[in-house]
């Protein structure tokens, strides 16, 4: 947890975010997020990016394709426009997803 990265509500990132440790997005990211642990898109966040991470948790807005190697969770208030590829998916009441869902990853 101490190694986590946090992009605050006033932060705008255009480009790539790569890394191993947890990333919490509260601001705006346009580009690519590719990390080995969890990517957390918080309620204030707007992400227009391709997101891939071991776990992706969304309670903000994501426009782009999402790959969650072990899990994707869309919480109430989460809004996703894009395709989701994952082994496990959880969608809460109050979440919105528009796109294709591909769950073949976990069957290998």
Partner 1 sequence: MAHEFAAVIGKNITVVGGQIEGSDNLLIEGVVESKINLDAKLVVGAHGQVSGEIEAEQLEVQGTLDGNITVLKIATLSTASQVSGLLKSPRIVMEDGAVFSGRLEMGTGLEKGR
Residues in the site for partner 1, rule: CB under 8 A?
Answer: 63, 79, 81, 88-104
CB of 87 to partner 1, least distance (A): 10
CB of 43 to partner 1, least distance (A): 16
Considering beta carbons, is residue 28 or 79 the nearer one to partner 1? 79
In DSSP terms, 49 is beta-bridged to: 31
From CA 51, how far away is CA 31, in angstroms rounded?
Answer: 9
CB of 54 to partner 1, least distance (A): 16
CB 25 within 8 A of CB 41: yes
| Closest among 4, 11, 80, 75 to 36, alpha carbons compared | 4
Q: Quick check: helix, strand or coil at residue 75?
A: coil
Considering beta carbons, is residue 19 or 50 the nearer one to partner 1? 50
CB of 96 to partner 1, least distance (A): 4
Question: Structure tokens of 70?
Answer: 């072990």
Considering beta carbons, is residue 6 or 96 the nearer one to partner 1? 96
For residue 64, is it left (φ>0), alpha (ψ between -120 and 50) or beta?
left
Considering beta carbons, is residue 23 or 91 the nearer one to partner 1? 91
């Amino acid at each position: 947890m101490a190694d986590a990265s946090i992009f605050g509500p006033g932060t705008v990132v255009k480009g790539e975010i790569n890394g191993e440790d947890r990333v919490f997005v509260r601001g705006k990211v346009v580009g690519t997020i590719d990390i080995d642990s969890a990517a957390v898109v918080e309620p204030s966040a707007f992400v227009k990016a391709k997101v891939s991470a071991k776990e992706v948790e969304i309670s903000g807005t994501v426009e782009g394709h999402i790959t969650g190697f072990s899990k994707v969770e869309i919480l109430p208030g989460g809004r996703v426009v894009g395709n989701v590829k994952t082994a496990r998916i959880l969608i809460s009441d109050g979440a919105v997803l528009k796109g294709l869902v591909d769950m073949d990853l976990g069957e290998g």
